Amino acid sequence: MAIKIISSSSVNLSREDKHHIFEIMRIAYATTEIEIWGEDYVRISEAEYFSLIDDGKITVAYFEGVIAGCNQVYEREDGSFGFGLLATHQEFRKRGIGRALIENAENRARTSGAKYMEIEILRPRDIEVPGKLILQKWYESMGYEYVYSENFANRKPIKAKRLIRPSDFDCYRKTL
């Protein structure tokens, strides 16, 4: 099993490759957050995502030479790091790609001197979503600990108007 992780700043991606990476992310969030946003939800526009790619803020996972996953890695204001927009193509799930993307993000954060890596899981307040519970347990298995929850509408009031049910960010942290 050959997984290779590359920053979008280190590879010359064609428009077709960028679109493929965007579609991996779009489909992942459209299916895993349907209970939060409803049908046809797009987490981030293609233009915004292409900008992240062009700015070197997206990490791409290749599985045996094929684009199989992606995530965004960023430095937070407090000097810790975070990652988001984590997605694996449906055909490549359960092969360690998500874990490899996270480990790469953690290594990048350590190299930059960060003491913590943080992640947020958007969760509906009034129902349990099995996929979100699986995700929570998966992050915990990698050493992430629950820190606090925050009302999504307090942080992103304009975007919160599109929610179909009240939701919270569950924030998790791992000491690096």
Give the DSSP per-residue string, 28-74. Answer: HHHHHSHHHH-TT--SS-HHHHHHHHHTT-EEEEEETTEEEEEEEEE
The model carries a pTM of 0.93
In angstroms, the CA 72 to CA 60 distance is: 9
pLDDT tens digits for range 21-35: 999 999 999 999 999
Cα torsion through 16, 121, 126, 140, rounded to 10: 130
Residue 99 clears pLDDT 90, i.e. is over it: yes
Confidence at residue 1, expressed as pLDDT on a 0 to 100 scale: 62
Delineate the domains of the chain, giving CATH numbers in brackets: 3-175 (3.40.630.30)
Whole-number CA gyration radius for the chain: 16
Task: Determine the average pLDDT of the residues in 125-129.
Answer: 94
Task: List the one residue out of 153, 69, 150 whose CA is nearest residue 104.
Answer: 69
pLDDT of res. 77 = 86
Residue range 113-127: mean pLDDT, rounded: 96
% of residues, the chain, pLDDT over 90: 92
At residue 122 the predicted structure's pLDDT band, cuts being 50, 70 and 90, is very high
Which token pair is 111? Answer: 């190299």
Mean pLDDT, the chain, whole residue set: 95
